[in-house]
Structure 1
């Protein structure tokens, strides 16, 4: 028997949704409605008809933006890893209570308001063995010591404001860092933030992004700048090096030397030297400004503690003139005339800094800073402040000025000491009086000097029977004295006039034609003998006080 499938007839009624929910409809009506639905979809449906291409473009754009954003994030992550060193976590420093008490005491008896002292750091690094790099723990201790001693830090803008004639700030320091090493971002930044302090970095701009990981990157620099903790100044673009200066291969600093041109078989001409230096300095400024930072106003001399660079500190050198064309203030660590931050150094446009090395303890740093804090011209027993006497003493101890002659063989015949040479830079309108004894028979002599390290220091030299006034080493006046072994010398230092009195009777005067801003300075004492075995003169007393009507701190 053959089974045959029965043919199913089409259902006459179907259930369909035409937009108002499921409902039954006849098959004929269903056909008409679905055709209508298709036509409606093409004309009015989402993504269909005339709207389909804008919608598709929009969706494509959204998809592309997601892809691009993901790619940009990936690129940014790659660049961040390449040009942003991860910062090291803060470590606890080992600082005893006794250390912190001693740091606090080192800030006692200092003026509450005084010109800032500039400190030089180089690198902060956990593993470096360089004598210029200090560990993060040591850096933390140094900043703690400054806080305990009552110092705060200045921004580059605040420091420049003072140097431009602004008011004297509260006791403060300017923290400077030479070169622009990566340890400043990796270690120093968080330590600086911990102490709420500011720092100024002098960049070798041509080395940034290069020689990784030793130097900073511009990404790190921009992040540091945005924090508000850091300022950036110039340390040249590419002159932090030594190069040949003659045919024999002798090397020198490019900033202060005309270089040897191997291809031309000669040294640079003065015009070529000038063009090269100015091009480099302008390039360093362009690099800093081009990365979104203010125009530098300060410059730090490369190798300022090394040989062959002293020329950059000379007021008359070509290098100094070129620097002055570009920067109002030049920083150095060693200068023939140590001008710490002051009105006089501002006039000269040259500031000597206090350098911090790996071996420098926080206490030593504070002592060095203290020696450079400007103090008023007022000291009643300075001969007993041995720690405040500096300058060249010619292999003798300070005792030679107090009547204790050196006992060693081959002793010198001359000794000199400056009272607070770094703290008296702005002294003027003051008086210094010394009682000098043991002048013997005229074969020994002593001197009281004023305006120390100025453009025209003045010295009164006395022997048993004569007084001589010297200005910048040249004799300007001389008078006989009543012959005796003790003489009292008083020197009054005015704005541009120096007047000396010996025993209250003999008067010697000098009027300077130098600008008054170049004549300020402190006190120097000198002793000398003409023959070995002679009695050295003795400074029995010394007093320094402001002249009547002199302003505070002058």
Structure 2
């Protein structure tokens, strides 16, 4: 497992012997989790340390940030003794309006004070009184999260306006912050979405809420990040939302460590030969049994398919920048097959390079904002070498040793434009599929890190060797890039 590449955030709820499933972990299981973490060399971060990391400060060694949502009493009665035994710490995201309520379930303010004085706990915001679902229509048939939805006002027989929504949510967030500081605790720096629901269905949805949260907190935490959530790094900080690894009743110590291995950020070059790491690839939309052989020429190839895509460890490569990817592409045939390589995958500015026997097309962006940056005719050949140099400032594309395109990255977009690498292959009737004979990734000279701005400087194009590193697939999708018929 990589070392010193940034923390993974773990999301717990309660620790007690016989609590509600699936969100309660037994004391024995929690003890096992901490033992596994210590055995693997992990240390835990305070919220202040974690926030400094989000702001660009490197975190040495293997680290996790332990979080507990809601503020259940089991944290003081059961979890605290385990943290003390292992020399670890955690953060509680309090529903401040519930502190002291439902005696025996929620923490009291006196227990919060004792936990804070131990030095093992700090306290953040999980709203004051919006951790619930409320009616969205007159009949009450539709209910939604009170944080993200405009609620039904029965006295006026209508839903809230956007202005009323903003005022209500702002007042709740301010009450939450005020309750924490009124009890002598530091002002909360982070927020956790109730139910991990961050988007409403109406106009008073994500935009309004995101603005309210950014005015008050460094970032917001959620457990719902799609299939490949970015880790706690520069891209997540730029987006203002940090994804967590959710721990439930059935999570074993082995499950925890496997989740950490999947999400722990990797540096470019940690796996310089990603095609030699077949277990690290995802094949979105492909039939079961699809493997890296469909991209290297070894096969097998799924029947009835003309396009395939692959993403290399998308969650672990979300913050990639400062590297060069070199590919030796062979078996290109007329205009009926081709390959694509996409970098900055899942970021705000993915760059897709589509390559055929006689043509090149470079595009940037996603969806309706996607644009063609460059087209080029190439000397027709069954083999081309491709180098893509990714830095904080630009993406440079070289074919057969000659630079064909440079895509600049605006300074204010650099953090969000990070991301890994994806491959695409297409065969529209050629006698054989194209193949990546080799794929290698070399990190830039200098320091790479969650807040780093290391540059990769182009050198000679490599045409021998094996493997490489890659990363997540673009929002546009490597399959879409593979389908592009380049200029001839």
Using the size of structure 1 for normalisation, the TM-score is 0.73
Deviation at 1:175, TM superposition (A): 0.5
Distance, in Å, in 1 between the alignment partners of 2:110 and 2:67 is 20
Q: Does structure 1 residue 263 correspond to structure 2 residue 159?
A: no
What are the residue-to-residue correspondences of 1:177-188 with 2, within 5 Å?
A: 177-188=68-79
Match of 1:287 in 2: 179
Match of 2:314 in 1: 421
Q: Does structure 1 residue 401 correspond to structure 2 residue 292?
A: no
Contact (CA 8 Å) 1:204, 1:234: kept in 2 or not? yes
Contact (CA 8 Å) 2:5, 2:267: kept in 1 or not? no
The alpha-carbon distance between structure 1 residues 311 and 406, as it changes in their structure 2 partners (threshold 3 A), is farther
Match of 2:447 in 1: 551
Match of 1:329 in 2: 219
Deviation at 1:224, TM superposition (A): 1.2
Deviation at 1:217, TM superposition (A): 2.0
Deviation digits for residues 82-126 of structure 1, max 9, x if unmatched? xxxxxxxxxxxxxxxxxxxxxxxxx5xx22x33222111112121
Deviation at 1:255, TM superposition (A): 1.8
The alpha-carbon distance between structure 1 residues 416 and 407, as it changes in their structure 2 partners (threshold 3 A), is closer
* SS of alignment partner, residue 177 of structure 1: strand
The structure 2 residue matched to 1:317, chosen from 207, 211, 215, is 207
The structure 1 residue matched to 2:240, chosen from 344, 349, 359, is 349
Contact (CA 8 Å) 1:443, 1:534: kept in 2 or not? no
Deviation at 1:286, TM superposition (A): 1.4
Contact (CA 8 Å) 2:326, 2:441: kept in 1 or not? yes
Distance, in Å, in 2 between the alignment partners of 1:370 and 1:274 is 40
The structure 2 residue matched to 1:245, chosen from 133, 136, 142, is 136
Task: Mark the runs of 5 or more structure 2 residues left unpaired by the alignment.
Answer: 455-488
Distance, in Å, in 1 between the alignment partners of 2:250 and 2:300 is 34
* SS of alignment partner, residue 442 of structure 2: strand
Distance, in Å, in 2 between the alignment partners of 1:487 and 1:246 is 61
Match of 1:274 in 2: 166
Match of 2:188 in 1: 296
* SS of alignment partner, residue 283 of structure 1: helix
Match of 2:458 in 1: none
Match of 1:231 in 2: 122
Distance, in Å, in 2 between the alignment partners of 1:182 and 1:416 is 47
What are the residue-to-residue correspondences of 1:112-261 with 2, within 5 Å?
A: 113-247=4-138, 249-261=141-153
* SS of alignment partner, residue 317 of structure 1: helix
Distance, in Å, in 2 between the alignment partners of 1:356 and 1:251 is 27
The alpha-carbon distance between structure 1 residues 242 and 407, as it changes in their structure 2 partners (threshold 3 A), is same
Using the size of structure 2 for normalisation, the TM-score is 0.83
Deviates more, 1:456-465 or 1:207-216: 207-216
Deviation at 1:219, TM superposition (A): 2.1
Contact (CA 8 Å) 1:455, 1:514: kept in 2 or not? no
What are the residue-to-residue correspondences of 1:10-89 with 2, within 5 Å?
A: none
Contact (CA 8 Å) 2:283, 2:308: kept in 1 or not? no
Contact (CA 8 Å) 2:44, 2:63: kept in 1 or not? yes
Distance, in Å, in 2 between the alignment partners of 1:535 and 1:132 is 51
Please identify the structure whose Cα radius of gyration is greater. Answer: 1
Distance, in Å, in 2 between the alignment partners of 1:180 and 1:385 is 41
Deviation at 1:432, TM superposition (A): 0.4
Q: Does structure 1 residue 363 correspond to structure 2 residue 254?
A: yes
Contact (CA 8 Å) 1:395, 1:412: kept in 2 or not? no
The structure 2 residue matched to 1:467, chosen from 351, 354, 360, is 360
Contact (CA 8 Å) 1:256, 1:319: kept in 2 or not? yes
The alpha-carbon distance between structure 1 residues 477 and 179, as it changes in their structure 2 partners (threshold 3 A), is same
Q: Does structure 1 residue 507 correspond to structure 2 residue 404?
A: yes
The structure 2 residue matched to 1:339, chosen from 207, 230, 242, is 230
* SS of alignment partner, residue 371 of structure 1: helix
Match of 2:392 in 1: 495
Deviates more, 1:243-252 or 1:430-439: 243-252
Q: How many residues align?
A: 438
The alpha-carbon distance between structure 1 residues 142 and 480, as it changes in their structure 2 partners (threshold 3 A), is same
Distance, in Å, in 1 between the alignment partners of 2:260 and 2:328 is 31
Q: Which one has more relative contact order, counting CA pairs under 8 Å at least 6 apart?
A: 2
Deviates more, 1:450-459 or 1:345-354: 345-354
Deviation at 1:180, TM superposition (A): 1.3
Deviation at 1:130, TM superposition (A): 0.8
Deviation at 1:552, TM superposition (A): 4.2
Deviation digits for residues 455-478 of structure 1, max 9, x if unmatched? 111110112322110101321111
What is the root-mean-square deviation in Å for CA atoms of aligned residues?
2.6
Deviation at 1:201, TM superposition (A): 0.8
Match of 1:382 in 2: 274
Deviation at 1:511, TM superposition (A): 1.8
